[in-house]
């Protein structure tokens, strides 16, 4: 259930920020981590946006001085999954791969400050005391399906077509309006992926059938060069990084004519018992959770410019009537 979270308001001035921002490549924090750093882990979908936000936020020399360290879902140099990362001095954890693993890290490790998530609040998203985790929306993404640039997949598959494909009720393209009798190769992101969770939810919370293969989220390798492969993919990721990687996204559509689903993406934080909302140390970056008091860098003009440069849109009340950047949602 969506719920605005009542927050303490803080009135403060804000300096004007430059909007021409350097865009970093996929990377873990370049600087040595410090005890005062804000640490973020989790979602693959928004990791590049957070890499760029970290660079832009740190360039403002925020007061109090708190650096923002965003760790990618997989090792950006080796591609290793679940390797060890040092998130604070003398504190190492297994790298969380995806939204749910990032949220679990937030729940179980006090040195994790922020979990990146491309899914919304779910049952169980609470801290050890039963307090709800706070989901702070900051951008909007779309989810479509990816296929090879030369493909047997029709571009107007409906939600029902995808349900049939992902439950393995229909296994050839001719059964879903295609011209090829070849076997469909559906793929889906790894367990714990916010994209996986959101995709299955839009299909009615189905359980994938045995014909479905698991791949790393937003990795075009599985679809590129395979005319029969298909899988959910972030529009923001495709637009900003993978438009020349041998895949295409379906051209979108409305109910009955194609699959095109909008979703919010979030920074997730624990409820702070002192402020009764977002921890005050996070306010300069994320705001206080009220959506109207201290909005923080992420929801500022400069922060939203970074979001747009990474392929995401600002939140659209047409799609999410009750949403606002930085306005906390929880179960």
Q: Which residue has the tokens 């929880």?
A: 330
| pLDDT, tens digit, 9 for 90 and up, residues 59-101 | 998 877 778 999 999 999 999 999 999 999 999 999 999 999 9
Residue 114 has pLDDT above 60, yes or no: yes
Residue 17 has pLDDT above 80, yes or no: no
Query: How many whole angstroms separate alpha carbon 174 and alpha carbon 153?
Result: 10
pLDDT band at residue 256, thresholds of 50, 70 and 90?
A: low
Which is more confident, 14 or 240?
240
Q: What is the pLDDT of residue 254?
A: 62
Q: Which of 4-18, 20-34, 290-304 has the highest mean pLDDT?
A: 290-304
pLDDT band at residue 32, thresholds of 50, 70 and 90?
A: confident
**Is the fold of 38-140+264-309 the same as that of 142-261?**
yes
Q: Which residues pair with 93 in a beta bridge?
A: 85
Average pLDDT over residues 213-236: 96
pLDDT band at residue 292, thresholds of 50, 70 and 90?
A: confident
Q: Which residue has the tokens 């990816």?
A: 146
| Beta carbons within 10 angstroms of residue 27's beta carbon | 16
| pLDDT, tens digit, 9 for 90 and up, residues 100-112 | 999 999 999 999 9
Closest CA to 100 of 83, 121, 80: 121
Residues 6+ apart with CB under 8 A from 155: 250, 251, 258
φ, ψ of residue 188 in degrees (nearest 5): -150, 150
Percent of the chain with pLDDT over 90: 82
SS (H, E, C) the chain: CCCCCCCCCCCCCCCCCCCCCCCCCCCCCCCCCCCCCEEEEECCCCHHHHHHHHHHHHHCCCCCCCCEEECCCCCCCCCCCCCEEEEECCEEEECCECHHHHHHHHHHCCCCCEEEECCCCCCCCECCCCCECEEEEEEEEEEEEEEECCCCCCCCCCHHHHHHHHCCCCCEHHHHCCCCCCECEEEEECCCCHHHHHHHHHCCCCCCCCCCEEECCCCHHHCCCCCCEEEEEEHHHHHHHHCCCCEEECCCCCCCCCCCEEEEEEEEECCCCCCCCCCHHHHHHHCCCECCCCCCHHHCHHHHHHHHHCCCECCCCCCCCCCCCCECECC
Lowest-pLDDT range of 15-24, 155-164, 318-327: 15-24
Q: How does the average pLDDT of the chain come out, rounded?
A: 90
Q: Which residue has the tokens 């990791």?
A: 47
| Beta carbons within 10 angstroms of residue 256's beta carbon | 9
Average pLDDT over residues 15-27: 40
Q: What is the pLDDT of residue 26?
A: 55
Average pLDDT over residues 38-55: 96
Query: How many whole angstroms separate alpha carbon 325 and alpha carbon 54?
Result: 18
What are the extents of the domains in the chain?
38-140+264-309, 142-261
Average pLDDT over residues 220-240: 96
pLDDT band at residue 16, thresholds of 50, 70 and 90?
A: very low
Average pLDDT over residues 177-196: 97
Fold classification of 142-261 is D-Maltodextrin-Binding Protein; domain 2 (3.40.190)
Cα–Cα separations (whole angstroms), residue 3 to 71, 272, 289: 29, 17, 11
Domain range 38-140+264-309, its CATH number among 1.20.1250.20, 3.40.190.10, 3.40.720.10, 3.40.430.10:
3.40.190.10
| pLDDT, tens digit, 9 for 90 and up, residues 194-213 | 999 999 999 999 999 999 99
Cα–Cα separations (whole angstroms), residue 21 to 39, 58, 325: 21, 11, 20
Q: Which of 22-26, 133-137, 257-261 has the highest mean pLDDT?
A: 133-137
Residue 146 has pLDDT above 80, yes or no: yes
């Amino acid at each position: 259930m969506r719920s605005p979270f009542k927050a303490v308001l803080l009135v403060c001035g804000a300096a004007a920020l430059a909007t021409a921002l350097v865009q970093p490549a996929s990377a873990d924090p370049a600087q040595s981590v410090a005890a005062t750093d804000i640490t973020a882990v989790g979602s693959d979908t928004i990791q590049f946006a957070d890499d760029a936000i970290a660079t832009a936020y740190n360039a403002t020399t925020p007061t109090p001085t708190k650096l923002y360290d965003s760790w990618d879902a997989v090792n950006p140099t080796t591609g290793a999954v679940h390797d060890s990362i040092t998130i604070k001095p003398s504190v190492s954890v297994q790298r969380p791969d995806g939204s749910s693993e990032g949220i679990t890290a937030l729940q179980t490790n006090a040195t994790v400050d922020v979990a990146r998530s491309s899914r919304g609040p779910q049952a169980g998203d609470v801290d050890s005391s039963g307090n709800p985790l706070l989901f702070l929306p900051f951008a909007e993404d779309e989810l479509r399906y990816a296929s090879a640039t030369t493909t047997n997949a029709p571009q107007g598959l409906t939600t029902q077509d995808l349900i049939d494909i992902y439950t393995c009720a229909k296994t050839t393209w001719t059964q879903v309006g295609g011209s090829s009798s070849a076997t469909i190769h559906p793929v889906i992101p790894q367990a714990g992926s916010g994209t996986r969770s959101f995709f299955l939810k839009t299909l009615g919370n189905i359980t994938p059938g045995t014909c479905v293969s698991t791949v790393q989220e937003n990795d075009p390798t599985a679809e590129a060069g395979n005319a029969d492969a298909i899988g959910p993919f972030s529009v923001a990721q495709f637009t900003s990084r993978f438009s020349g990687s041998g895949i295409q996204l379906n051209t979108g559509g409305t109910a009955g004519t194609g699959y095109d689903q909008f979703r919010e993406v979030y920074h997730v934080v624990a409820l702070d018992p002192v402020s009764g909302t977002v921890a005050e140390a996070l306010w300069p970056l994320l705001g206080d959770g009220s959506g109207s008091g201290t909005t923080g860098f992420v929801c500022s003009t400069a922060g939203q410019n970074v979001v747009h440069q990474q392929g995401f849109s600002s939140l659209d009340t047409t799609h999410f009537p009750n949403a606002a950047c930085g306005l906390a949602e929880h179960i």
